[in-house]
Amino acid sequence: MKKFQKYLYCGSFLPAMRIASAHAEGFKDQIEEAVNSGSEQRLSLLSSRIEAVFKTNATDYFQYHEQFEAALEKRGQSAVKELRKQMALAMEKQCAQSNAEVALDCFAGKEKVANRLMRTTNSKPELELAEQLARFVGEVRTAIIPGYHRQEVELNVLPPIQTGPINAGMDPKAIADPVARAAYEKAIAENSDRSSMNTLQMVVLPKMDQSVSSNFIRYVKTMVDQNPQTKEQTTRLSALAKLTEQERKDIQ
């Protein structure tokens, strides 16, 4: 996101979006080529490159991952093994709570992977995949702060130190005094953190909890229906997913 903000302050917002989009488009071509080649070596190299992106930019990581998975899914049966591998890699990622802005994109990206995982295997659910889903449900539930209280956020931040004419939402560069400018930039950053946390805790995670948990329960029920031997695993899966007592009853 830092890169994104740099573009924002250097020019207008829309070119920044186009730059990000063009970058993603370039990567998309490389993904298509590697997948179409069917070469294990190229796929492995591509996978390593995408995995490396997660450390620096979770948003880009899940964007590339989605493209990679879509290309693999398009290839059909010949790429099923690789698709499973890639989905498992994405599902292993931990969406850090420390930075709410990153967590927002990380959870959203992971939910897309979970949905693809269920969509591609719904007709024949598997224990290993159910476990991946259970861990994700558990992660979402762990990230939710019970009784979260909405923090004050403003669309346009007021510079905290007035050294001349000021407008809430003015460009920090327009403040000549370095101390006043630094205080304003700090206030903007803190406002952003609070805003991301509000969105994460009050909108994104509650909605995600509702959808992924109900999908997970349905997935496990289908799995047990089709393969009664897996029934003995439901207690363990329920614990991983941090299901409520009622949900545990529903899954039986």
Partner 1 sequence: MPVVTPPIYAPGQKYRIVSYDCSDAYCETNDITYSVGAVQWDPPLPSKITSTFSSTAYVNVTSSDPALCGNPGRVNIGTVTWNLSPSEITSQCVATTPADRTRTTIGVGEVVNLSLTPAPSCGSVTWTLSGVGTLSGTTYTAPDRAGSATITADAGCGCGKWTKTFSVIEPSGAVATTNGAAAPDTFAAGAQGVCMHLIFTFQPTTVCFSAVQFLEVPGPASNITGYMTRFNPASLAHSPSTTWIGLDESNRPLGQDHAHHAGYPSPWSAGGFDWVIPVAWRVGSGNAKTNLSWTQSVRITDTSGTTSVTKAGASATRTP
Of the residues 45, 52, 96, 174, which one makes contact with partner 1 according to CB under 8 A: 174
* Cβ burial 191-221 (10 Å sphere, 16+ → b, else e): bbebbbbbbbbeebbeebbeebbebbbebbe
Residue 124 in contact with partner 1, rule: CB under 8 A: no
Site for partner 1 in 223-252 (CB under 8 A): none
**Which among 1, 18, 81 has a CA at the least distance from the CA of 47?**
81
Name every residue whose Cβ is closer than 8 Å to that of residue 190 and which is 6 or more positions away in sequence: none
For partner 1, which is the closer residue by CB, 45 or 203?
A: 203
> What distance separates the 2 farthest-apart alpha carbons in the chain?
74
For partner 1, which is the closer residue by CB, 39 or 162?
A: 162
Q: How many CA atoms lie within 13 A of 53 on its CB side?
A: 20
Distance of CA 184 to the CA centre of its chain: 29
Query: Cβ 243 to partner 1, closest distance in Å?
Result: 17
Query: Cβ 22 to partner 1, closest distance in Å?
Result: 14
Cα dist from 92 to 102, 114, 133, 134, whole Å: 16, 11, 10, 12
Name every residue whose Cβ is closer than 8 Å to that of residue 63 and which is 6 or more positions away in sequence: 24, 109
Site for partner 1 in 58-117 (CB under 8 A): 59, 62, 101, 104-105, 108-109, 115
For partner 1, which is the closer residue by CB, 203 or 239?
A: 203
For partner 1, which is the closer residue by CB, 22 or 174?
A: 174
Residue 207 in contact with partner 1, rule: CB under 8 A: yes
Residue 38 in contact with partner 1, rule: CB under 8 A: no
> Rule CB under 8 A: which residues touch partner 1?
4-5, 8-9, 12-14, 17, 59, 62, 101, 104-105, 108-109, 115, 118-119, 150, 152-158, 162, 164-174, 188, 191-192, 195-196, 198-199, 202-204, 207, 210-211, 214-215, 218
